[in-house]
Each structure stands twice: as C-alpha cells, then as structure tokens.
C-alpha cells in the first residue's frame, strides 16, 4: 500500500512507485476488485457448464474463450497498472469502482451472449472497464512526467481499440458483419489489444513490482480454484435434487477436490516473484501465458460441475464428452503451467517428461469412459495428477523443491 502518511489524503500525486519497494503486497482495494471478478468468472463457468451438459461443448467453446478473454484482459490491465501507479486516493478508488461496475455489467450479459449471440451487455461492460482505465492512464500521464509518453500511449491504444470493439458491435447489430467473419474480427482486435502494452512500453517501461505481480496472479489463481470448487458444489446440489447420494457422486466429488488440490500444489511449488525480478524481459510471455492457465482452470470447473451433475440427471452429453471436459482442461493446465513458468526460473520444478507423460495419460483415460464409467475416469485423472505432484516434490539430490534453499552462514 502507499506510505502511511499519504493513505488518507483526498488526492495523492500519481507517480511511479519504486520497483524494489519493500513489503509490497496486494491492497484491500485490489482484493475487493478481485471479488467483483468472481461474479464474472462464475457467470462464464456456469454458462460453459450448461453448454457441455447440453452436448454443445464445441459450439460453446469459442464464446467461452471470447468472454473469458474480456474478463482476463480487463483484470490483467488493472493489475499491472496498479503495480506501477496505485495511489489509493479518492480519485483512484472511484475509478476502480467504475471498473468493478463494468465487470458486473459484463457478467450480466453472459447468458444473452451464449444463448442469442447478443454481445451488447458484454461490450458495454468491457467498455466501462476500459474507459475507466484510460482515465487512470491520462491521470498518470498528467502527473508523472517521466512516464508521460508511456501513459499517453496506453491511453491512446486502449481508446482506439475500444472504438474498434464498439464499431464491431454496431456493424454486427445492423447486419453489416457476416457471422463468418465475426470470430476473425474478434481475433484481430484481441491481437491488437495484446500489442498495446508492448508498443506503449517502448517509450519507457513501467515500474511494476515483480513480487506484487506474482502475488496478484497467485490470488487470482486461488479465486479460479475456488470457482471450480463452487462449480462442483453446484453439480452436487443438482445431482441431489434428482437422486440420493450414490457411489459415483461421492467418487467424482472427492476426486474433483483431490484433482484441484494437486493442481494447486503444482502451481505454487515455485514462487514467481524472484524469477520475474531476475528476468523482467520475459514477463510478457509469463503474463500473457496465464490466459491459457486461467482459462483451463475455469473450464475445469465447468467440466467438474457437469461430471457431478450427471450422476443424478440424464444429460445430453455423452460420458466421453463429459470426461474430456475434465481431461482437456486438466492436461492444458499441467502443460501450460510448465511452459510459461519455465522461462522465468533457473531450473524447472517439473521435468518435461513428467509433464508430457501426465498430459498424455490424462487425455487417453476418457477413451475408457464408455466401459468403466465417468466416476472411474475422473478418479484416474485425479490419480495421474496426484502422482505427478508426488514425483515433482520428491527430494532430488538432497533437495526438496518446495523448501527454499537458504545459505547457511559459516563461522
């Protein structure tokens, strides 16, 4: 948080915070901001689970990834801005509140986007979040002379892209954009969104704090794990409405919890703060790569919800499809976590052979679903991930990867 003597001022001059500021941690406002995004993530998860249960997983995948991109990108941009320019004064708090309101509007528009391809509410919510961030960057440009060019580039880039998103919506609503090119136009605008930070920071890099960023990503990861637990709980509730407690219900619910715990353990084995501090030039790969990690966790929650729910309902989805709705996100998480964490650490925590073996086994197991059932496959997937975690944390050369190696002073 900002220094104690500025915490309660109405207005604090917005200047870049020190990149090596000691004891930098997430502020209460950032935690509240994350809780707002819980609503948006829950809406995306619930809608994707509905698509999977109805046997439309592939049709719902593209809308899921598009809406989740809007949620992730808005969260990520606020997070990196706050790491550099958090003043925690009145203006900063109010503009953050506006961004939170935008997240709620976006969440409210998820069902319409999925059912009727109506992206008006989602575009409006995204617009509100992004314009509030533009105001933050304009303020930074006005008050921080050293970082003015960077801040104004951010403001200009974000504003131009917002005009693009609104134009796309207008043309779509008026029938001037054929449905066949709606996805390509989304991809094009998304790629330009990703390019804005690289272009803006050519003028001068922002002073983001590596340990603060690592903590913020870790907190959001925990939120997504929590959403998966909630999704599985919703599935249990739905299953119990139609039937009594059954062995498959208990097995899937228990295996889902074990699976999430194993993946959580893998993610937090090697803290990212020191790696980001030593390899700041690789932060883009690490930060952007988390889109795949976060999306995989969100999709895993949807898959677990359907897997639990099918124990008490007759769903249109086949056992094979339900198992793959769990297996693909789990394998994606294991692979992408290793792939994008590897560039910032000196030595990878998980061996590539273990990663590939685990992902391959997880993707093969659903093929047995028609013979052994969904519950057995989910339990086996959890077992593979647990085994991968055990192999990873076993002592190697007298070292335990989860314990920091602190030099012992000599006499």
- Element counts in the chain: helices (H) and strands (E): 15, 0
Q: List the one residue out of 298, 220, 286 whose CA is nearest residue 260.
A: 298
Q: What pLDDT digit, counting tens, does each position of 127-150 carry? A: 999 999 999 999 999 999 999 999
What parts of the chain have a pLDDT lower than 50? 1, 4, 6, 398, 400-411
User: How far apart are alpha carbons 408 and 279 in whole angstroms?
Assistant: 26
Buried-exposed string 304-343: b where 16+ CB fall within 10 A, e elsewhere:
bbbbbbbbbeebebebbbbbbbbbbbbbbbbbbbbbbbbe
Beta bridge partners of 396: 399
Q: List the one residue out of 209, 197, 151 whose CA is nearest residue 27.
A: 209
Would you call 82 helix, strand, or coil by DSSP? helix
User: How far apart are alpha carbons 10 and 263 in whole angstroms?
Assistant: 43
pLDDT at 407: 43
pLDDT at 231: 81
DSSP assignments along 294-333, one per residue: HHHHHHHHHHHHHHHHTTTS--SS-HHHHHHHHHHHHHHH
User: How far apart are alpha carbons 304 and 292 in whole angstroms?
Assistant: 18
pLDDT at 129: 94
pLDDT at 8: 56
CB-count burial class (<10 Å; 0-12, 13-18, 19+) for 290 = buried
User: How far apart are alpha carbons 188 and 203 in whole angstroms?
Assistant: 24
User: How far apart are alpha carbons 227 and 235 in whole angstroms?
Assistant: 12
Q: List the one residue out of 77, 221, 242 whose CA is nearest residue 162.
A: 77
Q: How far is CA 209 from the centre of its chain?
A: 19
pLDDT at 352: 86
Q: What pLDDT digit, counting tens, does each position of 59-82 carry? A: 899 999 999 999 999 999 999 999
pLDDT at 179: 73
pLDDT at 264: 95
What is the torsional sign of CA 25, 30, 31, 37?
A: negative
Q: Is the pTM of this model over 0.85?
A: yes
Q: List the one residue out of 408, 407, 331 whose CA is nearest residue 363.
A: 331
Buried-exposed string 223-234: b where 16+ CB fall within 10 A, e elsewhere:
bbbebbbbbbeb
């Amino acid at each position: 948080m900002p220094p104690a003597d500025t915490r309660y001022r109405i207005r604090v001059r917005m200047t870049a915070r020190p990149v090596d500021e000691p004891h930098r941690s997430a502020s209460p406002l950032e935690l509240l901001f994350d809780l707002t995004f819980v609503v948006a993530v829950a809406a995306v998860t619930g809608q994707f689970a509905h698509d999977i249960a109805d046997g439309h997983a592939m049709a719902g995948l593209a809308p899921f990834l598009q809406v989740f991109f809007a949620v992730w990108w808005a969260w990520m941009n606020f997070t990196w801005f706050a790491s550099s320019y958090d003043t925690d004064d009145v203006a900063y708090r109010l503009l953050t509140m506006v961004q939170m309101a935008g997240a709620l509007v976006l969440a409210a528009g998820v069902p319409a986007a999925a059912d009727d391809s109506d992206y008006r509410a989602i575009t409006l919510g995204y617009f509100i979040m992004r314009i509030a961030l533009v105001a933050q960057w304009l303020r930074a440009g006005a008050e921080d002379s050293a970082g003015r060019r960077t801040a104004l580039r951010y403001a200009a880039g974000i504003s131009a892209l917002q005009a693009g998103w609104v134009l796309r919506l207008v043309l779509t609503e008026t029938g001037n954009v054929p449905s066949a090119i709606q996805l390509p136009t989304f991809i094009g605008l998304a790629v330009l969104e990703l390019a804005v930070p690289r272009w803006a920071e050519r003028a001068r890099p922002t002073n983001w704090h590596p340990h603060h960023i690592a903590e913020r990503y870790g907190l959001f990861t925990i939120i997504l794990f929590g959403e998966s637990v909630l999704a599985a709980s919703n599935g249990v509730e739905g299953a119990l409405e139609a039937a009594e407690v059954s062995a498959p219900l208990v097995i899937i619910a228990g295996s889902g919890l074990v699976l999430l715990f194993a993946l959580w353990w893998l993610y937090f084995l090697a803290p990212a703060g020191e790696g980001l501090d030593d390899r700041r030039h690789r932060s883009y790969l690490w930060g952007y790569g988390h889109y795949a990690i976060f999306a995989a966790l969100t999709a895993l929650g949807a898959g677990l919800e359907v897997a639990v729910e099918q124990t008490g309902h007759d769903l249109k989805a086949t056992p094979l499809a339900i198992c793959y709705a769990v297996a693909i996100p789990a394998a994606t998480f294991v692979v992408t976590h290793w792939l994008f964490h590897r560039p910032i650490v000196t030595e990878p925590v998980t061996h590539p052979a273990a990663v590939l073996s685990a992902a391959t086994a997880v993707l093969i197991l659903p093929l047995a679903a028609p013979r052994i059932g969904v519950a057995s496959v989910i339990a086996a997937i959890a077992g593979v991930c647990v085994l991968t975690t055990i192999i990873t944390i076993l002592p190697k050369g007298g070292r335990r990867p989860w314990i920091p190696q602190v030099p012992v002073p000599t006499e």
